[in-house]
Structure 1
Amino acid sequence: MASTPTLLAAAEAPVPRRILPVITVSQFAGTSLWFAVNAVMPELQRELGLPASAVGSLTSAVQLGFIAGTLVFALLAIADRWSARAVFLLCALAGAACTVLAATLPPSWTLLLVLRALTGFFLAGIYPVGMKIAASWYTRGLGNALGLMVGALMLGTAAPHALRALGTHWPWQQVMWAVAALAAAGGLLLYALVPDGPGARKPAGLHFTGLACIWRDAKVRASVGGYFGHMWELYTFWVLVPAIVGTRLAGSAQSWGSFAVIGLGAVGSVLGGLAVRRVGSARVAGFFIAGSGACCLLAPWALHAGDVVFALWLLAWGFTVSPDSPQFSALTALNAPREAVGSVLTLVNCIGFSISVLSIELFVRLAQTLPLERLLPWLGLGPVVGLVLLRPLLKSRA
């Protein structure tokens, strides 16, 4: 094991300029798998005769697969015991293969659910592992680095909507193939150009005591609590964005609108990462979670406002709903035991996505009987609780 002076010297060594851009682009490409099916739901609904609630079930299948994957990755300490870049590559290729199969095999609702769940499982080796790789390179400025990376996640999530808008006349299978090719290219790019970081450490075994910091350490508990509140809102909002945009737009305009709303979170993530240098990760996270919570509560008024006000409200929601995520992760990574960072981040993701599944299933099903103006304000419950739990870090100016 390297000595403390050696680790400090490695942490202070300059990071090659290509590292962060390559991780960011690869994260964007890999996470495009997440909402691949959501962008082609109208075609799938027609071909398979699916109900409107199917979008919630397919999204939940991905989330459940992600939960299973993060639990396995965390308990086996996969991202801490083996090369994180190799894990990222294998999972990107496997997720791409699942997406190709979903587009190539004869359409079947059961098969589609299984393949989307497997895609979610392999996403557990892309999103949190990408954060682990960044944390191994950036012991300083991690909030800024993760801001760029989660910005890439936002664009990756929005990318299938843009592909659908660009290829309005493409069969839905071609959209899926394009997403799969993008993800595979991202995995290969990261493996080829990003070596294991100087801060990477391989533990001798599993670190259950390290995982216990999630509830034992006050600082970790505060950032994790904020993240859990954030996850009640985030993915449910993304699932509902096409329906919200669809109250004013249709066709390719609806796809472009959905892309803009979700993708705008990337701008917020980058700006939030830059603001960390002045005000700290906790205050940046607090600002954004308060902003998105306010957008939830304004929904009954904004949904019936004029087109300009409606657009500004929805864009503001897209801008604020996601940039708190990288700061919660940065705070957790910085305060967790160094030898267990990958496992802690992965387990926190597991719990957070379990919350998102509950939220998605609840809200998508209620949306079949309740108007959006009555439903959307309840998404604000997560930001309110998250902001309260984050307060210890806000007071410490973390």
Structure 2
Amino acid sequence: MRDTRLRPGYVLPIIVIAQFAGTSLWFAGNAILPDLDKALSLPANALGIITSAVQLGFIAGTLTFAFLTIADRFSPSKVFFTCALLGSIFNLGPLFSTGYEVILSFRFITGFFLAGIYPIGMKIASDWHEKGLGKALGYLVGALVLGTAFPHLIRDLTGGLPWKYILIATSSVAVMGGVAILAGVGDGPFRKRGSKFDLSIIFKLFRHNNFRNAAFGYFGHMWELYAFWAFIPFILRYYNASAGTDLNVPLWSFITIGAGSLSCAIGGHVAMRFGSKKVAFAALALSGICCLLSPLLFMVPVGLFILILLIWGMAVVADSPQFSTLVAQTADKAYIGTGLTVVNSLGFAITIVSIQLLTWLDSLIAPDFLFIVLLIGPAFGLVHLGRVGTEK
């Protein structure tokens, strides 16, 4: 009961809404890619490069935050607000310059400040939850999923309006999310202030078997997740071309990614009964099966295609909050923020490899067989997840 008395009912909804708002910056560049391609005649690998620029910026940001233990030394709410504001400003960069290299730079910097939104949001949630963290993070990662999908919805809703409105909308929403956190959520009662910078903290965290195996399981999950998300419009366009259909690519991209928010929330509730490890294992196994069977995806009728895509979209991310829960539960309590941040950083480094690998393989093999490569991640993750000991 102690946990509930110390946490007002409005805290989690504010964190969830703010997380959704802040992470809407993530795929803003992907949503406007067709417009940029028309204006700039982008190279064939632009999808992978622009997505990787954000991921690389996120990695640089998370490494900086981890090395300086910012999440543990400073007020997480103030860090979240500051990064939401700065990320929103740089998200607007392409409004003032549309050179390809300049756009990549702005996406990199936007990714850098996302490091103060996604992991810090999880840190804030962990500071307010002594119990039920898996359920809380289920809602929180669900918000990330919706935020990631949001630019695709804006693109669909704005119709023929200039692409600049997508950037203005996502930046405005992100700023409002930062204000909500700053005004409505203070430091949690279970926050433990970390010490000054100490590089050895990161190595000490990974010496613990449970933390290391939870992190490795998360790395396998990340190999698949963002590569799948980034290539969803590609999958839809290729299916349209091969099956002769006319599916709305922006709308179905939003629905496919956004469906994962529902599975994250449901998984959080299920984890309250069965534990985060079992939920993560089931979701990772299901998404692995989708990878294995992906060549069949382009041969089925449109109704079955949509169904399989939605199942994959739900399975691919349902384990994410539970992996974060396992990482938080197995980390040194004084360095939960640093543990989450460094694991996120390494996980996103892996996404660059998988995204670039798919981009390269696209010129060598038929798209039908492209996504079998993603099976590497779930297979690796399941092996290490099975080694995680009893949850605390």
Runs of 5+ unmatched residues, structure 2: none
Contact 2:97 2:103 in 1 (8 A): no
For residue 117 of structure 1, what is the amino acid of its counterpart?
F
What SS does structure 1 have at the residue aligned with 2:97? coil
2:87 aligned with 1:95? yes
Shift of 1:345: 0.7
For residue 22 of structure 1, what is the amino acid of its counterpart?
I
User: 2:21 aligned to 5, 23, 29, which one?
Assistant: 29
User: 1:152 aligned to 126, 134, 143, which one?
Assistant: 143
Shift of 1:212: 2.6
Aligned to 1:382: 377
User: 1:255 aligned to 250, 253, 257, which one?
Assistant: 250
Shift of 1:209: 4.5
Shift of 1:110: 1.1
Q: Residues of 2 paired with 1:226 and 1:292: CA distance?
A: 14
Q: Residues of 2 paired with 1:192 and 1:156: CA distance?
A: 21
Contact 1:31 1:123 in 2 (8 A): yes
User: 1:373 aligned to 368, 374, 388, which one?
Assistant: 368
Deviation string 1:321-347 (CA, Å, 9 cap, x unpaired) is 011111111111111111111111111
Contact 2:326 2:391 in 1 (8 A): no
Aligned to 2:280: 285
For residue 197 of structure 1, what is the amino acid of its counterpart?
G
Please provide the CA RMSD for this pair. 1.6
User: 1:274 aligned to 266, 269, 275, which one?
Assistant: 269
Aligned to 1:3: none
Shift of 1:368: 3.2
Q: Residues of 2 paired with 1:348 and 1:10: CA distance?
A: 29
Contact 2:219 2:350 in 1 (8 A): yes
For residue 220 of structure 1, what is the amino acid of its counterpart?
F
Deviation string 1:223-282 (CA, Å, 9 cap, x unpaired) is 101100001100000111001111345888111110011000001100000001111000
Contact 1:150 1:266 in 2 (8 A): yes
Contact 1:11 1:199 in 2 (8 A): no
User: 2:226 aligned to 210, 235, 241, which one?
Assistant: 235
Contact 1:214 1:224 in 2 (8 A): no
What SS does structure 2 have at the residue aligned with 1:196? coil
Shift of 1:99: 1.1
2:214 aligned with 1:223? yes
Shift of 1:203: 2.3
2:56 aligned with 1:78? no
TM alignment of 1:1-398, pairs within 5 A: 11=3, 13-102=5-94, 104-249=95-240, 253-393=248-388, 396=390
Deviation string 1:272-331 (CA, Å, 9 cap, x unpaired) is 000011110000000100010000011111221111221111111001001111111111
Q: Residues of 1 paired with 2:56 and 2:97: CA distance?
A: 23
Contact 1:210 1:337 in 2 (8 A): no
TM-score normalized by the length of structure 2: 0.96
Q: Residues of 1 paired with 2:176 and 2:149: CA distance?
A: 18
Contact 2:213 2:384 in 1 (8 A): yes
The runs of at least 4 aligned residues of structure 1 exceeding 3 Å deviation read 9-14, 207-210, 248-252, 395-398
Runs of 5+ unmatched residues, structure 1: 1-8
Shift of 1:208: 4.0
**Structure 1 residues 317 and 174: alpha-carbon distance in aligned structure 2, compared to 1, 3 A threshold:** same
Q: Residues of 2 paired with 1:20 and 1:178: CA distance?
A: 24
What SS does structure 1 have at the residue aligned with 2:39? helix
Q: Residues of 2 paired with 1:208 and 1:268: CA distance?
A: 36
Shift of 1:375: 1.2
Task: Give me the identity figure in percent.
Answer: 44
Q: Which stretch shows the higher mean deviation, 104-113 or 199-208?
A: 199-208
For residue 44 of structure 1, what is the amino acid of its counterpart?
L
* Number of residue pairs matched by the alignment: 388
Shift of 1:12: 6.3
Q: Residues of 1 paired with 2:42 and 2:20: CA distance?
A: 29
Q: Residues of 1 paired with 2:291 and 2:197: CA distance?
A: 41
Contact 2:6 2:189 in 1 (8 A): no
Q: Residues of 1 paired with 2:131 and 2:208: CA distance?
A: 21
Q: Residues of 1 paired with 2:174 and 2:291: CA distance?
A: 32
Q: Residues of 1 paired with 2:118 and 2:163: CA distance?
A: 25
Shift of 1:63: 0.5
Q: Which stretch shows the higher mean deviation, 89-98 or 372-381?
A: 372-381
